[in-house]
Chains A and B, each alone.
Chain A
Amino acid sequence: MTDWAARQNSDGGWAYSRGCSWAEPTAFVLLAQSTGSPGRASFLKAGKFLASLMRQDGGWSPQPGVEESTWVTALAALLPEDLISEQQRRQAIGWLKDKTGRDSSWLYRLRRRLDGDKEELPEGWPWFPGASAWVIPTSLGILAFERALRRGASDRNELQDRIDQGKKFLLARQCEDGGWNYGSIHALGRDGDSYPETTGIALLALNGVPRSSQLEKAKAAARRHFSGCRTAEGIAWLRMGMAAQGETIASAVDPVRRTNMDDALMALAAAPRNPLLT
């Protein structure tokens, strides 16, 4: 059992491994703690740290020194109910609704058309405003919007459309080997290889997608990755991804856990109900 309070920084947040607090590990530690019975004082202190990262534009900054709202806004929208108010969640979702990858801007699409590239580019989410969409922020964006729908958001059609687009984006970025990497499937015509962790998170975000040969190929890739994976990050995301696809996979490997993220992700993967999907 991880003693999260002992690892908590004085500002209430958690570091990735050591040093200053960041939004991402703090959010994942809180999500992991929410599956058990967290120490109330530590939990609320962390919530205050995260709330301090909320910005005027409704988005969230990844660290107190960063004056930009980024992809971590999706994590804020996924926080447990007692840590984020309904208004804050709405604002976070509102910020996310305005963000798409730069590769889906009309100018970029036009340029591609003029270059003879007719491939459809569904809308995903970028890590940082003004950049392209990638697999991890798109997966987190889908999960955040699904959470908002489950909580009765009023703009259902708009959210559902972005979820559908995000899932299409993920399916379009599936590597030839069936899994996912960060989101680049070809470079100068050569196929990129997938990674365990990104394959797992994409499968998690693709929960509810009807069975298809494409999905079966992805699950086969996940099983392949799982059999050789030695990292906590990879094992945890693969377990969560496959569980979301209705398949339980158990590992004989007890991976080395080097960071707070490793511990938090392993705790989430072991939880009977994944808070990212509730």
Chain B
Amino acid sequence: MKSQFTRREVLATAAAGAALARCSKAPRRFPVSNVSIVKASGYSMDVYDTVYRMIAGHGLNVRGSRIVLKPNLVEYDANTTINTHPMIVHAVYEAFLKLGAGDVRIAEGPGHRRGTLDLADAAGYFSTISQFENAFTDLNTDAVAKRAIPNPVSKLNSLYLPHTVLDCDLLVSIAKMKTHHWAGATLSMKNLFGLVPGAVYGWPKNVLHWAGIPETIVDLHHLFPKQFAIVDGIVGMEGNGPIQGTPKAAGVLVAGRDPAAVDATCCRVMGIDPKKIEYLRIARSEENLGENAFRQVGENIRAVRTDFQLIEEWKSIRLAA
């Protein structure tokens, strides 16, 4: 049978195919998002106004929305700074109400300790946030539903997740700025591990570890496209974080609509190269983690950079001066 294509057509098709193949390998470009860096020297009443202005500056329309605030509550040790400071959580809570949110809930599912309310009490949440228990949902024991992971990068195809977060209009990750002995740094994206219900997967949520820590961080990030991220770096943790490290005052709050952009900025503030943090590389690719990939609002990174001490195993992630 005679070919229906001329030689020229075949060559043109091959060239077009090669061009398309090159296009498909081109890195995905992400829209340039704003990341605000605000100086805050301590946990004083000023923080309420600082947090309100920082969130309002991002122009979120939350009128009537259901907001879930996800702090980082892990363990309590009076000698260090493991958890998001309760005053920051309260300031964010008040800010969203002031911006017209219909409902604001604080929700967390710690990965080590089963008594979430006891942990919150020890960490000062009950004494700082009035009627805390009424505003709080323990994500470890909330009703759950199974959700397929869109284009998973980990070995998981689906996860059971709590209704409280599946049903919200905006998920606000309020993380602590810390180094992490398995992930390099734990910030707003890693904080989403606390969404996974312990009553299904246990304490710790070891299924995530077996499926790949950086990969599951990215999968959880993709499961919640409507997010806002705030990182409490007023006093963070350096060294052997996320639990056994030492307090480190960075004196900043970092926030934005794009958690990966916020985390990459936090890394630079901590003196960590974001391109060497695997979950950020998977989420954005190196090309989208450069300093110019985000629009910094407020303080300049160099002005607030405070190198966090790194344990031996993570020395290689140090950002060049």
Which of A50-58, A169-177, A187-195 lies at the interface? A187-195
Interface residues of B in 189-205 (CB under 8 A from A): 199-204
Whether A182 contacts B200 by the Cβ 8 Å rule is: no
* Interface residue B296 (Cβ < 8 Å from any Cβ of A): no
Q: Which of A130, A188, A197, A234 contacts B207 (CB 8 A)?
A: A130
Interface size range of chain A in the complex:
35 or more
Known: A67-B146, A233-B115. A131 touches B210 (CB 8 A): yes
Partner among B146, B182, B201 whose Cβ is within 8 Å of the Cβ of A65: B146
Chain A residues positioned under 8 Å from B113 (CB to CB): 195
Q: Is B244 an interface residue (CB 8 A)?
A: yes
B217 at the interface (CB under 8 A from A): no
Asked if B18 CB lies within 8 Å of chain A CBs, one says no
Q: Per-position contact with A for B154-171: 1 when CB-CB < 8 Å, else 0? A: 000000100000000000
CB <8 Å contact, B206 and A131: yes
Tell whether A258 is near chain B: CB-to-CB under 8 Å. Answer: yes
Task: Tell whether A63 pairs with B181 under 8 Å between CB atoms, given A127-B201, A134-B206, A136-B203.
Answer: no
Q: Pick from B114, B133, B141, B209: contact of A22, CB below 8 A.
A: B141
CA distance A132 to B202 in the complex (A): 11
CA distance in complex: A256, B209 (Å): 34
Contact A62/B204 with A131-B210, A188-B311, A233-B115 known, Cβ cut-off 8 Å: no
Smallest Cβ-Cβ distance to B113: which chain A residue: A195
Q: Which residues of A contact B207 (CB under 8 A)?
A: 128, 130-131
B144 touches A66 (CB 8 A): yes
Taking CB atoms, residues of chain B closer than 8 Å to A17 are: 117, 138, 141
The 3 A-B residue pairs with the shortest CB-CB distance in the complex, in nearest-first order: A127-B202, A16-B141, A131-B206
Enumerate 10 A-B pairs (CB-CB under 8 Å) in ascending A order. Answer: A15-B141, A17-B141, A63-B200, A65-B160, A67-B146, A132-B209, A134-B204, A188-B311, A197-B114, A233-B115
A contact residues vs B (CB 8 Å cutoff) = 15-17, 19-20, 22, 24, 62-63, 65-68, 70-71, 102, 126-128, 130-132, 134, 136-137, 181-182, 184, 187-188, 190, 195, 197, 230-231, 233-234, 256, 258-259
